[in-house]
Amino acid sequence: MNRSVKTDYLIPLLVLFFFMAALPLAAQTVVTDDQVNEVAKDLYCPVCENTPLDVCATQACADWRELIREKLGQGQTEAEIHNYFVTQYGESVLATPQPRGFNLLAWVFPIFAVLLGGTIFVRYIHGIRIAALEEELAAEGGAIASEPNDYISRVEAELRER
Amino acid sequence: MSEIAQPPVKQPAKEKVSLSSILIWVIVIGLLTVVGLGLLDSRVTRPEAGAEAPVFEMQFFDGYEWQGRPAVSLEDMQGQIVVLNFWASWCVECRVEADVFEQTWRKYADQGVVFLGIAYADVEPNSIAYMEEFNLTYPHAPDLGTDISEIYEITGVPETFIIDKSGEIAHVQIGPINEAQLDSILSQLVAEGG
């Protein structure tokens, strides 16, 4: 192969090789808005009450989303970014409270509320059934009580004769 | 005639305490406890003028330390008048008073007055850029974990608390403060020696 052919093929191949090698690296640092919002949706706006970070329009939220983008570009995971925000801005930034300390109540309370409601409901139904049964028994007992009790009368009569 | 023996009177059966009753009471007592704790917590009011300034720890931004110390407590500043200002780079009204604070700080720096800037819910690079933009030279610290702003129960930024030498809050300013007002308060505190 003469020198001109090497130049014609080798240089373009080298350029293509380095480009392909750099492509994955470039792809890693490009963070999409969807990736940012995936992390941001679990965080609350620092100034607006109960507004998720992915939909908040304030400058503070925009700054925080850019911070998330930067950290995602550095290869940090969602958990690492959330931990960073908690350290910097407190646990109130999390949309879902962490299940520890006083916040554990937020996780446990719904379970207890369901148990309490279910227990009260079961007792209520049980009470209705018992009341119906008692009414039925009372009706049968009244019918029995209305029959003449000859046995007792006879016993009393025989005792009087003695 | 002997008396007719009365059949023994049946004692009413002792009512057993069911597990469901115990469960219900435990849950109700638990909920009342939680509500009670919440009500107790809500009684804690934000610090106002005349109250003792709540103490807190802070770690300064690099290059913005106080007396060369990277981290201090507010207690370390007792004996000095402290102007505690909450701000953020994204806060438009904070920019209105940034120059005021810097100029007043320079005027009172050798009169026993310390200016403290607390960056609230801010991103560090933006905080640094803000301080550089306004050539701020007094100490600044980030509000890590929003601990300081929670202690002072700020309603937003900017908010300023002026603390006298004895550690008592002399003035609370919600919103920007102007130069005349700040100068008037500080000159009075300096003159009073507190």
The tens place of each residue's pLDDT in chain B, 194 residues long, gives 455 666 666 555 555 667 777 877 887 887 788 777 767 665 567 899 999 999 999 999 999 999 999 999 999 999 999 999 999 999 999 999 999 999 999 999 999 999 999 999 999 999 999 999 999 999 999 999 999 999 999 999 999 999 999 999 999 999 999 999 999 999 999 998 74
CATH architecture assigned to B57-192: 3-Layer(aba) Sandwich (3.40)
Residue in the structure block whose two tokens are 């049964």: A133
For residue B20, give the nearest of A47, A89, A119 by CB distance.
A119
Q: Do A88 and B156 make contact, defined as CB atoms within 8 angstroms?
A: no
Residues 51-110 of B with CB under 8 A from A: 88-90
- Distance spanning both ends of chain A, measured CA to CA: 147
Distance, in Å, from the CA atom of A130 to the CA atom of A136, rounded to the nearest integer, reads 10
> Which of B33, B25, B140, B123 lies closest to A65, judged by CA?
B123
Residue B16 CA to its chain's centroid (Å): 52
pLDDT at B6: 62
Question: What are the DSSP E strand ranges found in chain B?
Answer: 57-59, 71-73, 81-87, 113-119, 140-142, 159-163, 169-174
Q: In this predicted model, what pLDDT tens digit does every residue of A59-95 receive, in sequence order?
A: 899 999 999 999 999 999 999 999 999 999 988 888 8
Average pLDDT, chain A: 80
> Which of B151, B162, B163, B99 lies closest to B120, judged by CA?
B151
Residues of B with Cβ-Cβ distance to A92 under 8 angstroms: 146
Residue to mutate among A116, A120, A155, with most B CBs inside 10 A, is: A116
> Which of B180, B173, B141 lies closest to B159, judged by CA?
B173
Confidence band, pLDDT 50/70/90 cuts, at residue A138:
confident
More confident residue, A38 or A18: A38
Min Cα distance B98 → chain A (Å) is 18
pLDDT at A98: 67
Q: Do A63 and B122 make contact, defined as CB atoms within 8 angstroms?
A: yes
Domain at A31-96, CATH homologous superfamily = Cytochrome C biogenesis protein (1.10.8.640)
DSSP symbol at B142: E
Cβ proximity of A71 and A80 under 8 Å: yes
Give the domain ranges of chain A. 1-30, 31-96, 106-161
A42 has pLDDT over 90: yes
Is A114's Cβ below 8 Å from some Cβ in B? no
pLDDT at A24: 56
Give the domain ranges of chain B. 16-45, 57-192
| The pTM of the whole model exceeds 0.90 | no
Q: In this predicted model, what pLDDT tens digit does every residue of A88-119 receive, in sequence order?
A: 998 888 887 766 666 666 677 777 778 778 88
A150 has pLDDT over 90: no
Alpha helix (H) ranges present in B61-91?
none
Nearest CA in chain B to A86: B145
Contacts of A31 (CB under 8 A, 6+ apart): A69, A72, A73
Is A66's Cβ below 8 Å from some Cβ in B? yes
> How many beta-carbon pairs below 8 A join chains A and B?
57
